[in-house]
Amino acid sequence: MADKSKILLIGGTGYIGKFIVEASIKEGHPTFVLVRESTLSLSSPAKSIVINNFNNLGVNFLIGDLLDHESLVKAIKQVDVVISSIAHDQVDNQVNIIAAIKESGNIKRFIPSEFTNDVDRAHIVEPATGLAASKAKIRRAIEAEGIPYTSVASNSFAGFFLPALNQRSCGGLGSFLQSHVQASSIRSTAVTTTSNQPGATASHGDRLVILGDGNVKVVFNKEEDIATYTIKAVDDPRTVNKILYIKPPANIISSNELVSLWEKKIGKTIERVYVPEEQILKNIQETLDFLRKLTLAICHSWFVNGDQTNFEIEPAFGVEASELYPDVKYTTVDEYLNQFV
């Protein structure tokens, strides 16, 4: 354990942060999580579960706050690597982490909070343009300060999208898109089809909303695998000042291929509701709900523009995780879906 870098997670109790903390412990790193004192008071039932799990794993808690420079410097001086997994509405505050890292002078690697597709190669519409721009701005600030970094382009979280193929009420691809595309657009402009799989039938409710034509490739990765690859990269000289793309070949799949795979597993046909790009953009413009706007803009980037897969990874700026770490047995989309059959 002495040979392993000491890792500090900022945002470690958040969605992807929890997985990264567990992966860090599993890989044998002394692991620290920056938390507010109020978080340790276990006032929130959800947070208390996370904190108790971290305690059982042997995580070290450091009291501090993203907006408190002194506490950041004090925490950062105790570790070798800083990983930020803070929420999207705090992305701009990572300038505080950069300032603290510069003052501390001891950090071997900083992984900023991105954990999505590559923001430098996204063709994204408002209001998500601002979020992508904020993440890109943080990249430029890190580069300008000469801090060794790795950016993680994790692509889509499997746990957020794929479970809905089984049951829309659990959240994910079907419910996520169906609830965020106005019902009027589905009735008036969407194209509905069913596949010609022999012997398959579609019962009422067996429908999934597909943005665009369904042929654009997207990448779905299990959160535990994203976390494992992230931790593998922290001490790897091949990933320094690079983007780590998590694009295992078996997880690159189009919406149509995904639905066909699910149909094969369950022996039924799923009704496919295709929403054209112009209707998606119209929904983004017309809805008054900011979260809905943001959600649709991000999904437009992934499922229509193909921003996760429409470029080649070049050695000058990036490396691919499954190629770097062939020893990691990642969960394929096919395997992931088996738990719902």
User: Is residue 259 helix, strand or coil?
Assistant: helix
CA dist., res. 24 & res. 64, Å (int): 20
Catalytic residues: 135
Residue 186, Ramachandran bin (φ over 0: left; ψ between -120 and 50: alpha; else beta): alpha
Map 1-56 to HEC letters: CCCCCCEEEECCCCHHHHHHHHHHHHCCCCEEEEECHHHHCCCCHHHHHHHHHHHH
Per DSSP (E only), the strands in 133-247 are: 150-153, 156-157, 191-193, 207-211, 217-221, 242-245
Give the Cα separation of 237 and 289 in Å (integer). Answer: 44
Q: Tell me the HSE value of 79 on the side-chain side, using a 13 A CA sphere.
A: 28
Of 78, 150, 65, 85, the C-alpha closest to 111 is 150
Residue 319 is inside which H or E element, if any? strand 318-320
Q: Look at the chain and count its residues.
A: 341
For CA atoms 97, 229, 299, 270, the dihedral sign is: negative
